[in-house]
Amino acid sequence: MNWKLIFQLSLFGLAMAIATVFWIPSNLEPFFWIVIFIICAYLIARNCTGKFFLHGFLVCLVNCVWITAFHFILFRTYIMNHPDQDAMMQKWQVPWSIHPRRMMLVFGPMAGIVSGLILGLFSFIASKIWKPKPVGSK
């Protein structure tokens, strides 16, 4: 496993965590993620020698830690900038009434797993298109 690459690629998640709190609206976020996933899949295919799916999956699990933490910590700012998300969370309220901030702790990892499956698939496909760099080349 290339843990250094996994951590480095997860920095896209850190950047998105900050950007989605302050600047990127929910309706544009998927477009940013598709570009990030393509870049990550390419870099995984070029810099890993195997377990491409697992590398992509683990990148998204680390991403979900960054994103969930930032959205949880900066909840008020996030909700002020994303009223559509607030409305959706209010609609999902269940009888035992989980606070929307705590709901992020549940749904964040679930989103990480789903996005991990997608990036894992992208990485696997990219490994069929681009071969790893030869050892010793930069």
User: Is residue 45 in some structural domain?
Assistant: yes
Instruction: Between 26 and 99, name the one with better pLDDT.
Output: 26
User: Is residue 49 in some structural domain?
Assistant: yes
User: Is residue 135 in some structural domain?
Assistant: no
Domain that holds residue 83: 3-129
Q: Is the pLDDT of residue 69 over 70?
A: yes
pLDDT of residue 34: 97
pLDDT of residue 93: 62
**For residues 16-21, average pLDDT:** 96
Cα angle 43, 31, 58 (rounded to 5 degrees) comes to: 40
User: Is residue 138 in some structural domain?
Assistant: no
pLDDT of residue 61: 97
pLDDT of residue 96: 55
Percent of the chain with pLDDT over 70: 91
- The residue whose two tokens read 């990219």 is 126
pLDDT of residue 101: 81
- CA 58/CA 129 separation, integer angstroms: 21
> Could you read off the pLDDT of 92-128 as tens digits, one per residue?
665 556 777 888 888 899 999 999 999 999 999 999 9
Look at the chain and report how many structural domains it folds into: 1
Tokens of 24: 């990127």
pLDDT of residue 121: 98
* C-beta of residue 9 within 8 angstroms of C-beta of residue 59: yes
User: Is residue 136 in some structural domain?
Assistant: no
pLDDT band at 88 (very low <50, low <70, confident <90, very high): confident
User: Is residue 134 in some structural domain?
Assistant: no
- CA 121/CA 126 separation, integer angstroms: 8
